[in-house]
Chains A and B, each alone.
Chain A
């Protein structure tokens, strides 16, 4: 990565970086609370408190430090969780709500898109809804159709929501701090396959502004835009292609709403070729969205048709062999890059 880190830092996992951001913001601002299912775990049980710290262990250790008043284990009631977060945000708190699996927005979508997203506009700019919804996305855990979706296109579609999809620990910390400090509802989507990925992360708190892409690889032949876990596959593809003398410019938008259109258009101006990699289905996806932006605003730069590498138009299958075929692979990215180069 190209992050220039000054000051003390340490190697942290994606999971630890998110935990770090939550802890530092909770220390800084007493209005920040966490609520969700098993964000601590063990409520009303005879055994240990903080037994889970979230089902993936992301919020571990926060309840012992901040108490159950600020790290709230809820019943399994997603509508109530998100509604309470939105109402609390309107009334002086800065809640971070957790949807254990982002697929569960199906249960509470009204509170997200009809309520939280619309308050600011519908009430003539009078309200603020400074809430964050953290949720795990993505395939790879063999978790089946109802625990593996990539639903970011669904929420990216909605005005009033911001959508953040960090691909590494450094970005996760900086973007989550920004999300907590942001006055709008932010969906912070963590790809569950990345929790153990490590990189260097500053110890101090820092915020990464929304709408600013990162550039993990710079190149001149083909632009590859990839998000979330796909960034790593795009980097792998770019490194493979570099051995064959093909130079790829890999862009990680980091936030998909707002989206750093400018960086994408500037890159395509140089390369003239665009491959977009997105783990969501292709129809009405982020890949389709970026493709349309470039076709509309960067048409004169294009020297080849845009190629999208996405999941197929099917739910996520359970069987490992099918799931592996479902998620865009490094090979498919390489093939798409060669296609747009006519190679």
Chain B
């Protein structure tokens, strides 16, 4: 068995936690308990988990507006996340950030980012700090296919090569930059090829396949950690929900989501594989499902019960360290 069962159970639990978390966010948003703009990552769980499962708390990730999955995969507390998404004082960012601005520096999660292409330059910086300080930590940036066309990202790819930074660029290609097709917005035939042209190893992987994605990530992380410079990955995936929760998604094909859920559900694919290989039993995973559902239920309950910030004391807190 190429993977030990503890690893497999952990991967499954994390993916399932993301799935249930996102599905519950959608429900709570619709119930009016989650304010603002929320971008769910259900369907893309395998990439977040395959990317982060071997990272330590001192390795850095930089995320996107669709960042709940990355945060959970990097070990952020889901209860603190739910509170944050609900704008509560005891949320991970004291209710100041919300869904698009979750960060947990203790877990090496330096922030979701509401600016497309905002995270990749920052991850170069994290990688530069690691290289300069000699810590051996690596940085992994997440970005969508949409972000691949942002000037900041193209600059960052070149910059990382020039400075030989320990930075893995993970591009999650879910086929849509907001409501525009990746086929249209990416002028090239292959994002992986384009990234390779910057002068770094670059690979394409089917992101719905946890194991294939994990193996690429493992090579990429080793490459970066060994001081060989950056590595780019294009992982093709499926976005089960809209660009944002509430997006009517008129631009999507008829039955596209239904078919994707049937045939390209990364968690289903994982389950089928591990059962078929005899690596895990269905009952083991079902037991995890029950625990995860209970955990998210607790997160929602605690989130709803958590206190709001106090404008008197909190509105002006943390603008500066000192002023």
What is the interface of chain A, defined by CB distance below 8 A to chain B? 37-38, 41-49, 51-52, 55, 73-80, 103-104, 106-107, 141-147, 312-315, 317-322, 324-326
Contacts and interface: CB of A to CB of B under 8 A. Distances in A.
B318 to A, nearest CB: 8
Contacts, number: 173
Contacts of A45: 176, 179-181, 184, 251-253
13 contacts: A46-B254, A47-B256, A75-B149, A76-B147, A107-B150, A107-B152, A141-B37, A142-B36, A142-B87, A147-B114, A314-B315, A315-B319, A326-B315
Contacts of B182: 44
A312 B151 contact: no
Q: Assign chain B's interface to a size class.
A: 35 or more
B179 A103 contact: no
A89 B134 CA distance: 50
Given A46-B256, A48-B250, A143-B37, A76 B116 contact: yes
B125 interface: no
A143 B88 CA distance: 15
Given A47-B254, A146-B101, 16 more contacts: A37-B178, A38-B180, A45-B176, A75-B146, A75-B177, A75-B185, A78-B150, A107-B152, A143-B114, A144-B98, A145-B101, A312-B316, A315-B319, A317-B315, A318-B93, A322-B314
A41 B151 CA distance: 21
A314 B316 contact: yes
B166 interface: no
Interface of B: 35-37, 87-89, 93, 95-101, 113-118, 146-147, 149-152, 176-187, 248-254, 256, 308-311, 314-316, 319
Chain B interface mostly: loop
A49 B35 CA distance: 29
Contact of A44 (B149, B150, B184, B308): B184
A48 B249 CA distance: 9
A73 B177 CA distance: 11
Contacts of A48: 250-251
Given A106-B115, A322-B96, A43 B36 contact: no
A257 to B, nearest CB: 25
A39 to B, nearest CB: 10
A51 B250 contact: yes
B151 A321 contact: no
Contact of B309 (A37, A80, A103, A321): A321
Contacts of A75: 146, 149, 177, 180, 185-187
A79 B151 contact: yes
A107 B184 contact: no
Contact of A76 (B89, B114, B178, B319): B178
Given A45-B176, A80-B151, A319-B309, A51 B96 contact: no
A318 B95 contact: yes
A84 to B, nearest CB: 12
